[in-house]
Amino acid sequence: MVIPMHIQHVPQIAALEEATFSLPWDEASIRAELENPLALWLVCTENETVLGYVGSQTVFEDADILNVAVRPEARRRGIAAALLRELEPMLTARGAERITLEVRASNAPAIALYRKLGYVQVGLRKNYYEKPREDALILQKQIAVRKVIE
């Protein structure tokens, strides 16, 4: 089930961050997103367990995906795709017209998923990631078109 993040999800998200990323967000930073009016985080849960999550922030027409992660034992079940698909209409309702994210250049499974969902590469950030140092592909997806009033 995909739902908005609540305070009880924060410890599990922080643990998944720690297990997934070389520079993970800590619990305090994740908890602060609950009070951030620009933030929207979704979790996929099963029996009170967070299987995966996506975090985003929206400023005007631009939404940025901050992190996406799925528990290793729950991967290849479509959880990341479901989270991203659920997120899109919610971001559109907040006024977002496009979603941007960075992904490690070596993360072939994530890149394949994003491309399948309609993201295209719009840039490259040299040496963006640390531990290990690596380039980031900048991917973007148009999710709405601004209506021009004449």
So which residues are the catalytic ones?
102, 114
- H or E segment and range at residue 101: strand 98-104
Any residues with CB less than 8 A from the CB of 120 and at least 6 apart, and which?
A: 139, 140, 141
Instruction: Please state, in angstroms and rounded to a whole number, the distance separating the CA atoms of residues 124 and 103.
Output: 10
Cis peptide before 11 (omega within 30 of 0): no
CB 38 within 8 A of CB 58: yes
Nearest to 70 by CA among 47, 51, 48, 45: 51
